[in-house]
Amino acid sequence: LFSFASELPEEYYVVSARAPYDLMYGSYAWYAINFDAAENKFSNHEQARESRDLISKFIDELVQHYPIDADDVTLIGFSQGTILSYAVAFSYPQKIRRVGALSGYLNPEIMVEGYEKNDFSDLKMFISHGSVDQVIPVDWARKAPAILNGLGIENVYHEYPIGHGVSPKNFYDLKDWLQTT
């Protein structure tokens, strides 16, 4: 996603956080995901919660050390980054104004206990997913709007005829949404 930075509005501070867990060949993850022989997926929820809180703390540090408006923070995530962006926003909505959720899904198991009681009145979300995503089934993403609507969170949902990625149309829809919210 960092390659999109030059396309975003000039007033944005674009910060790309590296996930804390090493994978092979210089890649990183926010938490471990394992697949068994029957293609069932298991996530390490403890690592995910630790990463959720690490991101929350990182936001505090950024606001403290840079001229970033604490009332206007946007998280944009892809795949695991989306799952964690949802978790941070649901757990600490006072820190987040907008979420761009690209090719991910909501996982309530990694949100703080009692998150449903939080005030989400200032939170807005852009959700997008590939209709032929081979990594995260599109049906998982399709559940988000109903959940968000039930919590009173303003949201838009888009699907694109792609796999697990971000198409140019997807990016420009996100960019337009950022400029109008």
Identify the domain containing residue 166 by its residue range. 45-180
Q: Is 38 in a helix, a strand, or coil?
A: coil
Cα atoms in the 13 Å half-sphere on the side-chain side of 168: 0
Rounded to whole angstroms, the Cα distance separating 173 from 138 reads: 18
Kindly report, residue by residue over 120-165, the tens digit of the pLDDT.
999 999 999 999 999 999 999 999 999 999 999 999 999 999 999 9
Is residue 6 assigned to a domain? no
Is residue 134 assigned to a domain? yes
Which pLDDT band holds residue 50 (cuts at 50, 70, 90)?
Answer: very high
**Which residue do the tokens 């959700």 mark?**
127
Is residue 25 assigned to a domain? no
Number of domains making up the chain: 1
Q: How many CB atoms lie within 10 A of CB 94?
A: 12
- Helix ranges (DSSP H) in the chain: 45-65, 80-91, 138-142, 144-150, 168-180
Which CATH number goes with the domain that contains 115? 3.40.50.1820
Is residue 80 assigned to a domain? yes
Which helix (H) or strand (E) element contains residue 156?
strand 154-160
**Which residue do the tokens 């050390």 mark?**
65
Is residue 56 assigned to a domain? yes
Is residue 1 assigned to a domain? no
Is residue 37 assigned to a domain? no
Exposure string over 43-77, b if 16+ CB within 10 A, otherwise e: bbeebbbbbbebbbeebeeeeeeeeeeeeebbbbb
Query: Does residue 173 surpass a pLDDT of 70?
Result: yes
pLDDT for 132: 97
Which pLDDT band holds residue 12 (cuts at 50, 70, 90)?
Answer: confident
The mean pLDDT value for 102-107 works out to 96
Kindly report, residue by residue over 69-95, the tens digit of the pLDDT.
999 999 999 999 999 999 999 999 999
Give the pair of three-digit tokens for residue 112. 């703080």
Rounded to whole angstroms, the Cα distance separating 153 from 144 reads: 10
Closest CA to 179 of 7, 3, 51, 15: 7
Parallel/antiparallel/unpaired status of strands 33-35 and 28-29: unpaired
Is residue 50 assigned to a domain? yes
pLDDT for 105: 95
Query: Does residue 1 surpass a pLDDT of 80?
Result: no
